[in-house]
Amino acid sequence: MAHAAAAEALGIHVTAVASRTPQRAERVAALSGARAVRYADLPAGADIVIVATPPQCHAEDAIRLLDSGAAVILEKPLCRTLDEADRLVAAAARNGGRLLYAENLAYSPIVQRMLAMVPRLGAITHLEVRTLQDLPTWGDFTSDDWGGGALFDLGVHPLAIALLLANAAGHGRPVAVHAVLRGGEGHSSDEHADVTLRYASGLHAHVIASWQATNDHIWDVQIAGELGVLRAELQPAYVLEYNGDEVALPGVTGEMAPVVQLGYLGQLQAMTADLAAGREPVMSASFGREVLQVVLAAYTSAGRAGEDVALPFAGPRELTPLQLWRQR
pTM above 0.85, yes or no: yes
Closest Cα to residue 272, out of 152, 107, 133? 107
Cβ(126)–Cβ(224) under 8 Å? yes
Q: Delimit the domains of the chain by residue range.
A: 2-104, 106-254+285-310
Measured CA to CA in angstroms, residue 228 lies from 120, 245, 279 at distances of: 7, 11, 35
Q: Which fold has domain 106-254+285-310?
A: Dihydrodipicolinate Reductase; domain 2 (3.30.360)
For 176, phi and psi rounded to 5 degrees? -160, 165
* Homologous superfamily in CATH for domain 2-104: NAD(P)-binding Rossmann-like Domain (3.40.50.720)
Cβ(293)–Cβ(286) under 8 Å? no
Instruction: Say yes or no: do domains 2-104 and 106-254+285-310 share a fold.
Output: no
Cβ(121)–Cβ(227) under 8 Å? yes
pLDDT in tens, the chain (328 residues): 799 999 999 999 999 999 989 999 999 999 889 999 999 999 999 999 999 999 999 999 999 999 999 999 999 999 999 999 999 999 999 999 999 999 999 999 999 999 999 999 999 999 999 999 999 888 899 999 999 999 999 999 999 999 999 999 999 999 999 999 999 776 789 999 999 999 999 999 999 999 998 778 999 999 999 999 999 999 999 999 999 999 999 888 888 999 999 999 999 999 999 999 999 999 999 999 999 999 999 999 999 999 999 999 999 999 999 999 998 5
Closest Cα to residue 259, out of 238, 241, 239? 238
